[in-house]
Structure 1
Amino acid sequence: MDVARPPVIETRALEKVYSAGTEAEVVALRGVSLAIAHGEFVAIMGPSGSGKSTLMNLIGCLDTPTGGQYLCDGIDVATLDREALAQLRRDKIGFVFQGFNLLPRMSALENVAMPLGYARVPNEARADRAREALAAVGLENRGSHRPSELSGGQQQRVAIARALINRPPVLLADEPTGALDTKTGEEILALFKRLRDDGHTVVLITHDPEVAAHADRTFVMRDGELHEEGPYDTRVRAHTGVVP
């Protein structure tokens, strides 16, 4: 974990209110302050309705807060226009979901390379980088296989390789082991640890305490508030001044 750099993810008193001022008003986040350093593996737990999905959407720049501040790799997200926000999301955050979201008619290599098309990377370079990403997740020999020819664990590895293709500092994983058996889930979690060791920051959203136990730190969302459950590096606290 690199504590000499500012946090890659930092929220300050983040608030999110839906349908404010109406009878349907829902306060989804209440003053959430969080600092995650480069190279950390952090889990955020919570039951349905606790606010963890809302927090994930804000960290992933898929939604905007009602109040407070969010800095992604030192950039105040609120200062960005739509185009700059899309570029930040593409370059800074890789997304991994429970359902894999692979295109069935594309090979593993084509699925992994797809985000590079939006970044206007030349075709030859796309293939090279996609092969490199597949090798990083242990699937260098499965590039020509379609999703239907891969196991669930292999499909999730392809999804992780796709998330890594733009070399983002943050990997945001939403219930990534939810559709996998226990053994395969353990293999995916071991892969996240290796990615952390390689310098990636991994933020894992989960409802399962056994999955969360693999992380360096664990937070729990309760009624829109964030509570830390795991050990917290005091050097990070001293550097950021943020107390979750």
Structure 2
Amino acid sequence: MTESAVIQTRALGKVYSPGSEAEVVALAGVDMRIERGEFVAIMGPSGSGKSTLMNMLGCLDTPSSGSYHCDGIDVAMLDAEQRAVLRRDKIGFVFQGFNLLPRMSALENVAMPMAYTSAPRGERLRRAHEALAAVGLSTREGHRPSELSGGQQQRVAIARALINRPPILLADEPTGALDSVTGEEILALFKRLRDEDHTVVLITHDPEVARHADRIFLMRDGELHEQAVGGPAHPAAEPVR
């Protein structure tokens, strides 16, 4: 594996309740390689395995088989505490729900992840200010979530994901709660972050959103396949009958 591969999985598998009548194969031999500075979309219908894959890439769950190297680190070699440190240092999460604390200002929300580090308060607030400036919200840092639009709240959430300067951003349906114009603005922001050498992995069910990515992966029944950007519609993007 070369140094440029930020995410690499080999034959990654996840089986829930193995050997029982309730057994579910959520991931089946997933091979994936993502380079530093790529913007990748993972598409698929509900139940296809894309959320399970995101949990694996985010070190929120452990695979039943196969391997995952995150920024060159073999995740299987880490214990729970070491995985938590890896998540903090290597991965920023952005979700459809903004998950902002309502009584905190935008600046305080962004600085919150650094509370789990040894950085002094002044350093945390300085980094939060820089992260908000990076997403175009330096003039809104004193506002609480209720005083911000949906798009601004998502920008705050992205700034929060950037606070520890992770190489990887995992975004799960980040435009799902936004109108189309605001969603386009958020996708443009992801492209700019890619150009600044972040690796962006976007989970979506929307083909129009996925087409903004450099590469598109399609999931169906736990299997992953790559599709050419701008190619024809793929059955994996259709609802499971």
TM-score normalised by the shorter chain: which range applies?
Answer: over 0.9
State percent identity of aligned pairs.
Answer: 77
* Cα distance between partner residues in 1 of 2:157 and 2:61: 22
- After superposing on structure 2, the runs of 4+ consecutive aligned residues of structure 1 that deviate more than 3 Å are none
- C-alpha contact 2:3 2:72 (8 A) present in aligned 1: no
**Stretches of structure 1 lacking an aligned partner (at least 5 in a row):** 232-244
**Stretches of structure 2 lacking an aligned partner (at least 5 in a row):** 230-241
- C-alpha contact 1:90 1:166 (8 A) present in aligned 2: yes
1:151 deviates by 0.1
Change (3 A) 1:25 1:4: closer
* Cα distance between partner residues in 1 of 2:95 and 2:137: 19
2:109 corresponding residue in structure 1: 111
2:212 corresponding residue in structure 1: 214
1:100 deviates by 0.4
1:4 deviates by 6.5
User: Which residue type is aligned with residue 9 of structure 1?
Assistant: I
Equivalent residue in structure 1 for 2:23, among 8, 25, 29: 25
2:146 corresponding residue in structure 1: 148
2:197 corresponding residue in structure 1: 199
RMSD of aligned residue pairs (Cα, Å): 1.0
Matched, 1:85 2:83: yes
Number of residue pairs aligned between Structure 1 and Structure 2: 229
Deviation per CA, 1:141-177, whole angstroms, max 9, x where unpaired?
A: 0000000000000000000000000000000000000
* Cα distance between partner residues in 1 of 2:92 and 2:214: 19
Equivalent residue in structure 2 for 1:43, among 41, 44, 57: 41
- C-alpha contact 1:216 1:230 (8 A) present in aligned 2: no
1:81 deviates by 1.0
* Cα distance between partner residues in 1 of 2:4 and 2:65: 22
* Cα distance between partner residues in 2 of 1:170 and 1:6: 12
* Cα distance between partner residues in 1 of 2:89 and 2:72: 14
* Cα distance between partner residues in 2 of 1:173 and 1:70: 19
User: Which residue type is aligned with residue 182 of structure 2?
Assistant: T
* Cα distance between partner residues in 2 of 1:227 and 1:4: 22
- C-alpha contact 2:30 2:223 (8 A) present in aligned 1: yes
1:180 corresponding residue in structure 2: 178
User: Which residue type is aligned with residue 128 of structure 1?
Assistant: R
User: Which residue type is aligned with residue 130 of structure 2?
Assistant: E
- C-alpha contact 1:106 1:146 (8 A) present in aligned 2: yes
* Cα distance between partner residues in 2 of 1:79 and 1:42: 26
1:61 corresponding residue in structure 2: 59
